[in-house]
């Protein structure tokens, strides 16, 4: 199978690839009500900052569809509630609250419509958010590939691919673009403990695309850098603060420190919907603490003694001074980031 279905789409209700079953099975989940959308995000059947934003937008459209409200103002009250439930599903990725806010803004701006017309308008907006995300990913690919001109070996962490977005990916977008141009490229894929997004998802996704990859455990990254086998690192992000500090999957900060020690560039690829100008710096980004069972177990299999203390911060923050460049659909930002990030967000909002 070479044609990977979309990550998230609407077919009467929000539908998504069940990312907990990959790569063993390509299962589809149909979310019949708001609670199942929230549960799909919380349990990480769908994950990756842009993908959970799109799912949440469809969740808002579903909440409107399921609501029996007879007036648009009552419908909007339901949407305010739905937004706060969806936003609480996962706290770190700003794309989630960004998407639900955009849906709420559209509802409020169209409050004069009849409820059924408003429901239609909301679904159209969710579809637009999905389509724009795919377009942004492709633009990230075109901008980002210019940074990879001399690059053969890229290391990536977690999954910032098509599965984490509408399609095509953020960190994987420049890699895909280079591959589509017929240039050789090889990807070191960190397995990404504890949830194994690299091993389960990125390796599968690159294999489907016919891109050369080698799967490694996270603790092998330093070794391959020391051996001179890593030309650059590309990761995605869940939230970029106004000063350029980057929250991403736990382990990214460690890679950034290693990259600095080995004089390897660290690129962050993300759509402008991941930039949070309201958050001044990384210290203000909430870090999701996930179930310790994700650390003590692989699947259903326990790998640690019962009753021990376990920690599971799901993300870390890489300070801006360790980031070589930030690639968005608007172009490439270099340090110092603050002004360029601001300009990029303004340009995206004006488009
Ligand atoms: O916990 P996850 O799998 O949702 O974390 C995903 C990441 O950290 C990605 O790198 C980030 O969301 C960017 S996805 C384009």
DSSP string covering 190-206, please?
E--TTTTHIIIIIHHHH
Q: Which atom from ligand 1 is nearest to the alpha carbon of 269? A: 15
Q: Which atom from ligand 1 is nearest to the alpha carbon of 93? A: 12
Q: In whole angstroms, what is the distance from residue 20 CA to residue 329 CA? A: 29
Note whether 106 and 83 are within 8 A (CB): no
Q: In whole angstroms, what is the distance from residue 232 CA to residue 267 CA? A: 8
Question: What pTM value is reported for the model?
Answer: 0.97
Q: How far is the CA of 111 from the centre of ligand 1 (A)?
A: 34
b/e per residue 4-13 (b: at least 16 CB within 10 A)? bebbbbbeeb
Residue nearest to atom 5 of ligand 1 (CA): 48
- Residues with pLDDT less than 70, the chain: 1-5
Q: Which atom from ligand 1 is nearest to the alpha carbon of 197? A: 3
Catalytic residue among 238, 245, 276, 316: 238
Residue 152 labelled as part of a binding site:
no
Q: What is the mean pLDDT of the chain?
A: 97
Residue 48 labelled as part of a binding site:
yes
Nearest Cα neighbor of 57 from 107, 115, 112 is 107
Residue nearest to atom 15 of ligand 1 (CA): 160
* Structure token pair of residue 53: 């934003």
C-alpha of 93 from chain center: 7
Q: In whole angstroms, what is the distance from residue 90 CA to residue 100 CA? A: 13
Q: How far is the CA of 45 from the centre of ligand 1 (A)?
A: 13
Q: In whole angstroms, what is the distance from residue 339 CA to residue 1 CA? A: 44
Q: Is 238 a catalytic residue?
A: yes
Give the model's pLDDT for residue 299: 87
Nearest Cα neighbor of 205 from 232, 187, 181 is 187
Note whether 55 and 8 are within 8 A (CB): yes
82 CB neighbour count, 10 Å cutoff: 25
Is the bond leading into 194 cis (omega within 30 degrees of zero)? Answer: yes
Residue 248 labelled as part of a binding site:
yes
Give the model's pLDDT for residue 3: 57
Where are the strands (E) in the chain, listed by range? 8-11, 13-17, 28-30, 153-156, 186-190, 212-216, 232-235, 239-241, 246-249, 266-269, 275-276, 297-298, 301-302, 315-318, 325-328, 331-333
User: Residues 6 or more apart from 283 whose CB is under 8 A from it?
Assistant: 245, 317
Q: How far is the CA of 204 from the centre of ligand 1 (A)?
A: 16
Note whether 275 and 347 are within 8 A (CB): no
Q: How far is the CA of 239 from the centre of ligand 1 (A)?
A: 10
Q: How far is the CA of 120 from the centre of ligand 1 (A)?
A: 30
- Ligand 1 neighbours, Cβ below 6 Å, are 47-50, 93, 158, 160, 164-165, 170, 197, 235-238, 248-249, 314
Residue nearest to atom 10 of ligand 1 (CA): 236
Note whether 51 and 7 are within 8 A (CB): yes
Alpha helices, H only, 215-331 = 221-226, 252-261, 293-296
């Amino acid at each position: 199978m070479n044609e990977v279905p979309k990550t998230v789409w609407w077919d009467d209700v929000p539908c998504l690839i069940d990312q907990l079953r990959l790569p063993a099975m390509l299962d589809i989940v149909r979310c019949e009500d708001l609670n199942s959308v929230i549960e799909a995000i919380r349990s990480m059947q769908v994950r990756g900052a842009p993908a959970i934003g799109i799912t949440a937008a469809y969740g808002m459209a579903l909440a409107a569809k399921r609501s029996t409200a007879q007036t648009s103002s009552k419908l909007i009250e339901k949407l305010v509630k739905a937004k706060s439930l969806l936003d609480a599903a996962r706290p770190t990725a700003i794309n989630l609250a960004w998407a639900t806010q955009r849906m709420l803004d559209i509802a409020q701006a169209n409050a004069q419509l009849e409820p059924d017309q408003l429901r239609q308008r909301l679904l159209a907006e969710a579809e637009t958010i999905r389509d724009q995300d795919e377009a942004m990913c492709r633009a990230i690919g075109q901008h980002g590939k210019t940074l990879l001109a001399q690059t053969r070996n890229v290391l990536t962490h977690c999954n910032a691919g098509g599965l984490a977005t509408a399609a095509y990916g953020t960190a994987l977008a420049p890699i895909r673009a280079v591959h589509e141009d017929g240039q050789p490229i090889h990807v070191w894929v960190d397995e990404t403990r504890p949830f194994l997004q690299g091993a389960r998802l990125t390796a599968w996704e690159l294999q489907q695309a016919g891109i050369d990859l080698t799967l490694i455990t996270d603790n092998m990254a330093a070794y391959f850098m020391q051996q001179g086998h890593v030309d650059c690192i590309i990761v995605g992000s869940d939230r970029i603060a106004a000063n350029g500090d980057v929250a991403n999957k736990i382990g990214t900060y460690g890679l950034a420190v290693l990259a600095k020690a080995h004089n390897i560039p660290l690129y962050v690829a993300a759509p402008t919907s991941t930039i949070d100008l309201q958050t001044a710096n990384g210290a203000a980004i909430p870090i999701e603490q996930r179930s310790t069972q994700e650390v003590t177990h692989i699947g259903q299999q326990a790998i640690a003694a019962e009753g021990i203390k376990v920690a599971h911060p799901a993300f870390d923050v890489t300070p801006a001074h360790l980031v070589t460049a930030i690639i968005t659909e608007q172009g490439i930002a270099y340090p110092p980031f603050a002004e360029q990030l601001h300009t990029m967000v303004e340009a995206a909002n004006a488009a």
